[in-house]
Amino acid sequence: MILTLGRGHTIIITNVGFNTLPEYEVILYHPLRGTMNCFHGKPKELVFPQYPDQWNKFYCLTHRVQPEPFNFLKHWFLHLEGKSITAPSFTDFTLRLVLRNSERILFEDEELGNSEARRLFEAVSGGKVEQDVKFVFYKSKAPFWVELIRRYKTRRMLRAYGVK
């Protein structure tokens, strides 16, 4: 039996580092709005601890089976310090990976947060935002020689499987 809750937005977190990641949550943070923990994963599909090159898929349900969007997400975007606003500005959002049951931040990126907030707001409001959408990909902060070794190992693995 398949139960369809609705449609939404998916984000995939891949561990590109060398260390394992402990159990974490994906949250959207704004300094004046606070945090929104709207990304959830299916319990049987989440992998923790997350080893290098493993990925987890998180989703944010923006529309129920009925066509009306979730009000809490739209309310969070359209209220600032308790006052209603007409449209949010996508300049101060931060996407964070936070250690579960803690306030320790494992990773944060403002550009990813702004683009994810814009995409979520477009989904719940039903229209495009007038600002340009800039897709941002995380670039590893490892030294250059570490990236060369990683690429070499990836190419060697692909050749072993007959892909390249």
101-150 pLDDT per residue, tens: 888 998 899 988 998 998 888 888 876 554 433 334 445 566 767 777 77
User: Once rounded to an integer, what is the mean pLDDT over residues 20-36?
Assistant: 91
**DSSP class of 21:** B
The residues, any chain, with a CB within 8 Å of residue 12's CB and separated by 6 or more, are 55, 56, 57, 58
pLDDT, tens digit, 9 for 90 and up, residues 46-75? 888 988 888 888 888 776 666 555 578 888
Reported as a pLDDT band with limits 50, 70 and 90, residue 88 is: confident
User: In 3D, which of 93, 94, 95, 88 has the Cα closest to residue 129?
Assistant: 88
Q: How many residues in total does the chain contain?
A: 164
**DSSP class of 67:** S
**Would you call 125 helix, strand, or coil by DSSP?**
helix
**DSSP class of 99:** E
* pTM over the 0.75 mark: no
Percent residues over pLDDT 90 in the chain:
13
